[in-house]
Amino acid sequence: MFMSTESAGKLMDHALSLGADFSELFIEKTNNQRLSVKNGEIHSLTGGIDFGIGVRLIYGDEVLYAYLNSIKDNQVISVMNQLASNYKKERRCSFNSLELKSYNNQPSAIKPISDISLLDEKVGYLKKISNISLDSSKKITVAEAGVFQNNQKVEIFNSEGLHVTDDRHYCRLNSSVIAEDGNEKSTGFFGPGMLQGWEINESYSPEEMSDMVVKQALTKLNAVACPGGKMPVVIGNAFGGVIFHEACGHLLETTSVQKKSSVFWDKMDQIIANPVVNAVDDGTMKNEWGSINIDDEGMPVKRTQLIKDGKLVAFLSDRVGELKTGHKRTGSGRRESYRFAPASRMRNTFIDKGDSSLDEMIQSIDHGIYCKHMGGGSVQPGTGEFNFAANESYLIEKGKITTPLKSATLIGTGPDVLTKISMVGNDLELMAGMCGSVSGSVPVTVGQPALKVDEILVGGQK
């Protein structure tokens, strides 16, 4: 596709001649396009081509990595020599001949970015979202809609004889508004994404895209200050899963396990969560934003059960993770682009559905809050301490959802919250997001059914 097997073989053999135990080439060409509409007019249209090669050499368990924008043999050999200058030794491994493989578990895009005739259709769709939002209420003063689409073509070679290609099509929509009422202002946001082409728009009508954000912003406009302190919380489905992703999922990646900076590093086969909790990371789900045919080390992806009935049963592992911890690779070696060495990362990560209804959870609480839509947050890797904002939340009083609240924040530690989940809902949904970590920003989905956490610290204004 990008490099002949002859060149690739020559380059990897050169790396082995420098004494490396393993060498790998990751070549990428990505075509990106971003289009946004604001208040019914085209606001921006940007895009371009990313192209480069990532070169990885492994000596023992030490990783040497370089990237450059040229795939010319002499330039790649030059950076290999620079990388290995402190490590150079006698050849220890021989090169295996390359065998091309491709995996096509995911359907190809029906409307790829290369079809430039789609631009008019995109503009019309986005303008409609923006106009519906503006027309829905005089309080909506800014209404934006956008689409990000890309096509990432990758070719991976390694010194064990691997030669694979993958053709990934991503498309993500977004809709956002600003609502104003006197001095009060609020915002709403919705951003679904799929591993597919522009056909994503058939799953989300302009009316639905608008309705989600307008309701969110208008509800928050009339919200009251959130109470602070420890209380029971029901975390809504779909993006509510961001808490598990950040506060537990990252701690199950061998990237943190290998440094023992995860509180779970020595907890394999132990109960780490309430037995109602089952958690999965599944890269095989059809068309999901976090799915892939192969990971960025060329391994076919799989479904990995992480927690079974509260017991930790697997970590997410990549090549270096397996080398350093012994936990077998799970097809989880991912990277944002050729600029990053791969690391163990999540794909579609979710808490599996249980058997409680949302109503049952709400009715079980005398005083607490319901976080219907979660926003972003962060986690301290060593300790699992997290902090998440709720985009839309409500007070629960005597078993009923009552007043909308502003700026609710949940803080705690992942391990603690896992043990305090007492009810798991039956309404599992996934939501697209971008996850930033050591190997850059990668598409993932987070997900869960609604969950009841018996006690969590809520940061509020009163």
Partner 1 sequence: MNTEIQQKLEKNLEYAKLNSDQAEIILTKGSSFSTSSFNGKTDKLAINQGNTVGVRVIKNNRVGISYSEDLADSSIESAINQAVSNSKYMNEEPHEKILKGQGQVLNNHKKNQLKEESTADQKIDLSIKLEKDVLAFDRKVKSAPYNGVSEGKAEYYNFNTEGLRAYESSGSVSCYTSCLIEEGEKNGMHYKSSSARSLEGLDVNFVLKESYEKAQALFNATPLKSGNYDVIFSPNTLSSLFSIFSVIYSGKATAEKKNPLMKKMGEIIFDERFSLIDDPRYADAMMYHDFDNEGMTQNTVSLFENGTYKSVFHNSKTASELGVENNNRAARGARATIGTTSTNMIISSSETQEENKLFEGNPIIEVFSIQGAHSGADAISGNFSFGASGFLKHEGKITPVKGFTVSGNFYSMMKNIHSFGDKVHGNSGRTFFSPLIKFKSLHLSGA
User: According to CB under 8 A, which one of 5, 46, 102, 114 is a site residue for partner 1?
Assistant: 46
Could you say which residues in the range 98-127 bind partner 1, by CB under 8 A? 116, 119, 123
Query: Would you count residue 460 as binding partner 1 (CB under 8 A)?
Result: yes
Instruction: Between 97 and 116, name the residue whose CB sits nearer to partner 1.
Output: 116
Q: Which is nearer to partner 1, 90 or 120 (CB)?
A: 120
End-to-end CA distance of the chain, in Å?
60
Q: Taking CA 353 as the corner, what is the angle to CA 460 and CA 286, rounded to the nearest 5 degrees? A: 110
Q: Is 222 in the site for partner 1 (CB under 8 A)?
A: no
d(CA 136, CA 140): 8
**Residue 171 contacts residue 164 (beta carbons within 8 Å):** no
Is residue 152 part of the contact set for partner 1 (CB under 8 A)?
no
d(CA 279, CA 457): 23
Helices and strands (DSSP H and E) totals, the chain: 9, 24
Q: Is 51 in the site for partner 1 (CB under 8 A)?
A: yes
Between residue 76 and residue 95, which ones bind partner 1 under the rule CB under 8 A?
79, 82-83, 85-86
Mark 295-334 with x for binding to partner 1 (rule: CB under 8 A) and - for no binding. ----------------------------------------
Pairing of strands 229-235, 367-379: parallel
Positions 369 through 388 that interact with partner 1 (CB under 8 A): 375-383, 385-388
Nearest approach, Cβ of residue 47 and partner 1 (Å): 6
CA distance 427 to 376: 21
Check residue 455 for interaction with partner 1 (CB under 8 A).
no
In order, the DSSP letters of 285-343 are STTBTT--SB-TTSPBP-EEEEEETTEE---B--HHHHHHH-PPP-S-EE-SSTTS--E
- What part of residues 236-295 is at the interface with partner 1 (CB under 8 A)? 256, 259-261, 263
Q: Is 19 in the site for partner 1 (CB under 8 A)?
A: no
User: Pick from 454, 459, 237, 426: which is nearest to 367 by CA?
Assistant: 454
Q: Work out whether 17 is an interface residue with partner 1 (CB under 8 A).
A: no
Longest CA span, the chain: 74
What part of residues 200-219 is at the interface with partner 1 (CB under 8 A)?
A: none
Stretch that binds partner 1, among 59-67, 95-103, 125-133, 196-204 (CB under 8 A): 59-67
Which range of residues in 95-103, 196-204, 360-368, 404-412 is near partner 1 by CB under 8 A?
A: 404-412
Q: Which residue has the tokens 């943190």?
A: 256
CB 107 within 8 A of CB 196: yes
Give me the phi and psi of 78, to 5 degrees please. Answer: -60, -45
Candidate list 17, 152, 187, 403; residue touching partner 1; CB under 8 A: 187
Which residue in the set 66, 77, 268, 434 belongs to the binding site for partner 1 (CB under 8 A)? Answer: 66
Beta carbon of residue 126, minimum distance to partner 1 (angstroms, whole number): 11
Q: How many residues contact partner 1, by CB under 8 A?
A: 73
